[in-house]
Amino acid sequence: MLSINDITIRMGGRPIINGASATLPMRGCVGLIGRNGAGKSTLMKALAGVIDVDGGRIDRPRAARIGWLKQDAPSGGASAFETVLAADAERAALLAEEEAGAPPERLADLHERLIAIDAYTAPARAARILKGLGFDEAMQARPLDSFSGGWRMRVALASLLFTGPEILLLDEPSNHLDLESALWLEDFLLSYPGLIVLISHERDLLNRVAGQILHLEGGKITLYAGNYDAFEALRAERLAQQEAARAAQAAQRAKLQDYIARNSARASTARQAQSRAKALARMQPVAEAVSDPCLKFDFPSPQPLRPPLVTLDHAEVGYDGRPVLQNLDLRLDPDDRLALVGRNGNGKTTLARLLIGQLPAMAGGRNATAKLKVGYFTQYQVEELDREATPLQHMTRAMPGATPAAVRAQLGRFGFSGPAAEQKIGTMSGGERARLALALVTRDAPHLIVLDEPTNHLDIDARQALVQALAGYEGAVVVVSHDRHLIEAAADRLVLVDAGRAAPFDGSIDEYEAQVLAKPAEAAPAAAKAPRLDPKEARRQAAARREAAQPLRKAMQAAETRLNKLTAERDALDAEMALPGADVTALMQRRGVLDAGITAAEEAWIAASEAYDAAVAQPK
């Protein structure tokens, strides 16, 4: 067992993890989740022994080897294949001793140990892992320094998987992978013989690989049985119970406060009032179960344009006169929802840049409507933000001539209201910076949004908020992502970019996954299969569902606006109650009315949200 016993970890004098305890089995996968900035990577470093805990202890099995995926990319002149082989230090040392001419009495022990650790099959295992992570034979022979940082991180992951430690600690291992390599990694982890502690914000990965979820929140950790969906259901139930307990306690507090206010001045009841005041002081408040108000995305919908938005006609595109993709025939309409799939390096980003006009067609044609406005998001924009500026300053620069109200309105669409709009970008989490980048690229209400790996910095809740925002957006969407949940929820059709071509993939993301993993799709007999809709008809139906659901979306937004207004009023009321001389009885009565209004608004929002999601969902 790996035991976490009442540990405390401080950063800059502030406790990041405070009195956390859990016991993890030595086999299976535990998904470590929590909001950005909760301390997941800090806890992972403590499990790896890289940092010491300030209190409590972590007990690890004495003989267990621990492998931790560091965030530093390896470098040097050694090839990718040589780097992975060298990761098994014991094998390298034994082979070096054998080659140096070990004495005969030592050779038998050497060979016995080499056989025990599968040293002679190691080259085949290393090559298989590298191939699974996207390295063909030629790439395996290239020196590390010839690769980008993302590819070198793949080598680091391959090296760690090759060593096969009993405790495998993985911090966002799929961030630098394409969808195909992520699928291979998932298959690899499913059959891993040791304990895996996995930090990931990918719902599908956690659902398929994790058997337990370790949730880090408020410095505490809670272990849930089951995958992410099971965790979400259990936690929702706990939060509902917590909110019910808080509401019951609030009612009790109101009664006590009312009694104290009415009876403190009377001599005959002063003692009873004093007793109730003591009871009120001893009452430990139940924390309110609230969601993060910043967890919202709202893409401004564009003015309508006649189709098509963009067409490619036998187009060819590349760099420095050398084509990467050829014979491209593609049409984008205002209601299109498109996902580009294929291994990294095959040209998905190149095709995206051609679609938006960043790259010219080397041959053939690209035509776009004259009034087309495009929002293009890449993960690199997150790192290029001015860390000394605030979101308000950044957006003001990006919207010259816009009124302050318009600038703040665009920031508010992405959760940057009030003080959040005036914090320095350098102090923000990666997820907050990603939200700001999305706010910036959509400021002009684009007709086409192209998202190239938009989820790398977002936690699970923020990814779901992105999915919901795309469902409500009325323009065209092109997505490049390794997150299957995003692809499945946001795309109506797939385009496979491979071998210098881009062609429609006539199937679902599940069928594409089965093809990538080279195993038959698990499907019903042919006679039971429903006929596949023509892609154009499927897009038309999806657009019609979104159009029909607009009243529900407006009802959802109205309920959310009312909920925010009532919550702000209640917060102001609570502040007023703390003032000397406040009429607590009258204020508590007013608070009761507000609480009832908030509950009604929450119920209206939930009902409208569920109805909207059901209305825009693709029929099974």
pLDDT per residue as tens digits for the range 535-593: 455 555 666 666 676 777 777 777 777 877 877 787 787 778 777 777 777 777 787 78
Tokens coding 101: 């001419």
CA distance 340 to 328: 13
pTM score of the predicted model: 0.69
The Cα–Cα gap between 564 and 161 comes to 48
Q: Give the pLDDT band (50/70/90) at residue 279.
A: low
Secondary structure element (H or E) that encloses residue 77, with its range: none
The reply to whether 2-93+121-232 and 310-520+532-548 are identical in fold is yes
pLDDT, position 170: 94
Give CA–CA dist 380/276, Å, rounded.
59
Per DSSP, what are the bridge partners of residue 20? 7
Work out the pLDDT band at 525, boundaries 50, 70, 90: very low
Angstrom distance (rounded) from CA 349 to CA 449:
14
Sketch the domain layout of the chain as residue ranges.
2-93+121-232, 310-520+532-548, 549-620
Percent of the residues in the chain that have a pLDDT greater than 70, as a whole number = 87
pLDDT at 181 exceeding the cut of 60? yes
3-state secondary structure 518-567: CCCCCCCCHHHCCCCCCHHHHHHHHHHHHHHCHHHHHHHHHHHHHHHHHH
423: CB partners within 8 A, 6+ apart: 390, 391
φ and ψ of 284, to 5 deg: -80, 120
On the question of pLDDT at 265 being above 70, the answer is yes
CATH architecture type of domain 310-520+532-548: 3-Layer(aba) Sandwich (3.40)
Res. 443: pLDDT tops 70: yes
Question: Above 60 in pLDDT, residue 58?
Answer: yes
DSSP tag of 285: P
Which bin fits 334, alpha (ψ -120 to 50), beta or left (φ > 0)?
A: alpha
Within a 13 Å sphere around the CA of 353, how many CA atoms are in the beta-carbon half? Answer: 15
User: Is 544 exposed, middle or buried, given 0-12, 13-18 or 19+ CB atoms closer than 10 A?
Assistant: exposed
Q: What is the pLDDT of residues 453-503, one digit of tens each?
A: 998 888 888 888 888 888 888 899 999 998 888 898 888 889 999 989 999
Nearest to 182 by CA among 222, 160, 209: 209
Distance CA 478, CA 336 (A): 8
Architecture of domain 2-93+121-232: 3-Layer(aba) Sandwich (3.40)
